[in-house]
Amino acid sequence: MVHEILLWPDERLAENAAPVAQVDEELRTLVADMFETMYAAEGVGLAATQIGILKRVVVLDVSAKCPELKPLALINPRVVHQKGNQLFEEGCLSLPGEFETVERSACVHVEFVDEQGNPQVLQCEGFLAVAVQHEIDHLDGIVFVDRVSSLKRELVRKRMKRLKSNAKNT
Ligand code: NI
């Protein structure tokens, strides 16, 4: 099922998501819905927070940029190691049309649980590292415009206000 994606600013996007206690059929249905929602919106990543579900679940598909990487579902993802810095121009399904350069770690190791409930470790660099850090931020109530200057963020806020009022009027 395709869910509605919350648009920033929305107080629900600023909430801290709760860890998943049990990987069961209900959770796997959520993961399937999140993939469906992400693909329908032509995104490469989605956090459950963005559809108003405050659970620590992320889906990613960066295969367009990194063809060797399969779609990933990360449950309770946690960065356990990080190294270096990189700058990348990010976007987000909760901020359509907005792109800003954000500084992130160049390389991260992420522990998570997969859809079968098995613990995994993922080593990421480049675009995958950016995407993973961006999505884990969502679970902590942080969107990428929280990581740019307040001046830039206020300009984005004005454009989003216009976007939302145009959407309401059509
Ligand atoms: Ni996002």
Question: In this structure, are residues 135 and 74 in contact, taking their beta carbons and an 8 Å threshold?
Answer: yes
Q: Residue 5's closest CA among 32, 57, 43?
A: 43
User: Alpha carbon 121 to chain centroid distance?
Assistant: 18
Distance CA 118, CA 6 (A): 30
For residue 133, the CA-to-ligand 1 centroid distance in Å is: 10
For residue 53, the CA-to-ligand 1 centroid distance in Å is: 14
φ and ψ of 42, to 5 deg: 60, 40
List per-residue pLDDT tens for the chain, 170 residues long. Answer: 999 999 999 999 999 999 999 999 999 999 999 999 999 999 999 999 999 999 999 999 999 988 889 999 999 999 999 999 999 999 999 999 999 999 999 999 999 999 999 999 999 999 999 999 999 999 999 999 999 999 999 999 999 999 999 888 87
For residue 47, the CA-to-ligand 1 centroid distance in Å is: 7
Q: Residue 55's closest CA among 77, 81, 82, 32?
A: 77
Task: Please give the helix or strand (H or E) that residue 86 lies within, else none.
Answer: strand 86-92
- pLDDT digits 0-9 by tens, 108-130: 999 999 999 999 999 999 999 99
Task: Please give the helix or strand (H or E) that residue 88 lies within, else none.
Answer: strand 86-92
For residue 22, the CA-to-ligand 1 centroid distance in Å is: 25
For residue 45, the CA-to-ligand 1 centroid distance in Å is: 7
Active-site residue, 4 included = no
pTM beyond cutoff 0.75 = yes
For residue 126, the CA-to-ligand 1 centroid distance in Å is: 17
Distance CA 41, CA 53 (A): 17
Question: In this structure, are residues 86 and 68 in contact, taking their beta carbons and an 8 Å threshold?
Answer: no
Q: Which of 90, 98, 100, 135 is labelled catalytic?
A: 135
